[in-house]
Structure 1
Amino acid sequence: MNRRDLLQLLLLSAVWGASFILIEITGRSFPPVWVAFLRLSFGAAFLWTVLWMRKRMLPPRRLIVTLLLVAFFNNAAPFCLFALGERTVPSGIAAVLNATTPIWTLLLTLAVQGTRTGRYTIAGVLLGFAGVVTVVLSHGRDAHAAVTRGQFFLGVAFIAIASLGYAIATVIAKARLKGLDPIGLATTQLSLAWLMILPVALFGTHPTAIQPSSVAASVLLGLAGSGLAYLLYYDLLSRISSTHVTAVTYLLPIWGLFWGYVAHEPILWTVYIGVAIVIAGLVLMNKSSAAAPALPRTAVPAEDSVACDAG
């Protein structure tokens, strides 16, 4: 991996890692469904432009049922759940919780394929979950006055379910959507999810007092987090192996905490220990099997053709 690839990998992880704080800022003015709706709107518009300029192909219509399932589990539901969860959970903690996605994906894949589990896999899964529990429990005991412990743990549950949704989408896509144009698939995912969210946004709760910072964050979240990041990811995969791109998995929680720190979110020292444990678990999981789905809600290898968003 040369210097250009390394810099692009760092840029990709920084962009995806920023998604968590952008969700939180957007949610200051918009209801959770609207956070998802705006993200999908800007992201889909960006990808449709790229699709048209590069003359890329959309997936065949015969795959519509599978595409709808992937759009729901990978975009529509998680985007709403992350926005809902981050009402009471700091963005840095949400980034760490998102790191459970590759763990869930691996467990689901092993269950579907019925393969035996190696010792590295078991150790990696246990370490990963132990790290997440360390982060959640330590922060839950020190929840700030504006949020009760019950509200905090409810938010954690929403984000955990969203991460499981990313894993379900990845497993479905790996089984049913191989060999498709990645940009066409990503465009279809966001567009179908947008259609799912549209009626809920129109007939549900509407935003009232809108802050300019929330509008700017929603634009960045869609254009960068669900648009530019896809292009960076697939451009990287065209030059380096998917094994090297899995480094994004390890960097996302770190970037999530960094952007949270920049936004002056309270971060306990135990959170850093938890993140180190999570990363160690992910390393062991990737060591156990080259087929292990290493990337979170963010992406899977190009040959599997699906991109799973971060946060």
Structure 2
Amino acid sequence: MTTSHWGQLLLLGALWGGSFFFARIAVAEIPPLALVLYRVSIAALVLHVWLRINSISFMPALARSGSFLILALLNNVIPFSLIFIGQTAIGAGLASVLYATTPLWTVLTANLLTADEKLSASKLAGVALGIVGAATMIGPGFLSNFGGPTWAKFAVIGAAISYAFAAVFAKQFRDMKPVVVATGQLTASTVLMTPIVLLLYEPRDIVSSNISIWMAVGTLAILTTAFAFILYFNLIASAGATNASLVTLLVPASAIILSTTFLGERLELYEFFGLALIISSLVVVDGRFLRWR
């Protein structure tokens, strides 16, 4: 990857790490699946306005609406639902580490389904090192939360596998502008999530009068979803599915750093060590330093 790709990856990791911070605030008063709908629908609306202001046509996405419904299922609806279901029975530490296995599944999926992202020893070694780093950052909490029913663990792993297929599937949209791809996916996610939320909740159950809750929802939708997915699809188009999926290794580190910075939490020694392992894993996957050596 180029220096620009690494910069985008780090920014994306910070944004998606921040999504846990803002979701934690919003979910206090808004049901999880309703929050998903708010997140994707507001983000889709913002991106449609952006397209209109910049005179970018949405028609190419409409022409491939079936493909965007599949992308929305793989990249939003299925993984969001599986993660929520899994976290009803297992701890957040274990769920985060299982989520961080996404690059491993992406490496394997890309090797099977693509011609330009074949398996390599450096990719496997780097991803394995990153997963260990993510587990280390969780620290004692990971070990204490290691229990729980098998089905819940498979649910989160299923979400990681769904993300892997989504990353590979999204490569077919490389001929489209990343902002159009992001708008298409989020619009399709809104179409899919709306009947689910209307079926499960009464209108009074999904509305809050707390302004801080809506500020968190807005930030979650605009920064960590609309803008973040533009970065994500640009990375897939220019750097490949495997490289783009490395962001999931950065998310736990980003979330912990943000909570330390803004919530006054103290970074422990094992968290520094885990962060060092994650950085090392990215260097190994990139391969340039090893080739130089």
TM-score by length of 2: 0.74
Change (3 A) 1:185 1:150: same
Alignment of 1:57-206 (within 5 A): 57-58=57-58, 59-83=60-84, 89-90=91-92, 98-113=99-114, 117-134=119-136, 138-142=140-144, 149-150=147-148, 158-174=155-171, 176-206=172-202
Change (3 A) 1:235 1:107: closer
Equivalent-residue separation in structure 2 for 1:11 and 1:195 (angstroms): 28
CA RMSD in angstroms, aligned pairs only:
4.1
Match of 2:291 in 1: none
Report if aligned partners of 1:127, 1:277 keep a CA contact under 8 Å in 2.
yes
Match of 2:19 in 1: 19
Equivalent-residue separation in structure 2 for 1:79 and 1:179 (angstroms): 27
Larger mean CA deviation between 155-164 and 40-49 belongs to: 155-164
1:111 deviates by 2.1
Report if aligned partners of 2:61, 2:184 keep a CA contact under 8 Å in 1.
no
Report if aligned partners of 1:17, 1:95 keep a CA contact under 8 Å in 2.
no
Q: Deviations over 1:187-235 (max 9, x none)?
A: 1100111110101101103537845443322111001111233456789
Change (3 A) 1:63 1:278: same
Equivalent-residue separation in structure 1 for 2:176 and 2:207 (angstroms): 42
1:184 deviates by 1.4
> Which consecutive unaligned segments of at least 5 residues does structure 1 have?
289-311
Equivalent-residue separation in structure 2 for 1:5 and 1:121 (angstroms): 17
Larger mean CA deviation between 106-115 and 18-27 belongs to: 106-115
Change (3 A) 1:68 1:217: same
Please state which structure has a larger fraction of its residues in helix.
Answer: 2
Identity level (%): 28
Which amino acid counterpart does residue 121 of structure 1 have in structure 2? K
Q: Deviations over 1:60-81 (max 9, x none)?
A: 5453332111111112223344
Equivalent-residue separation in structure 1 for 2:74 and 2:110 (angstroms): 16
Alignment of 1:230-309 (within 5 A): 230=229, 242=239, 249=247, 251-261=250-260, 262-263=262-263, 269-287=269-287
> Which consecutive unaligned segments of at least 5 residues does structure 2 have?
289-293
Q: Deviations over 1:221-256 (max 9, x none)?
A: 001111233456789999xx759x979836543321
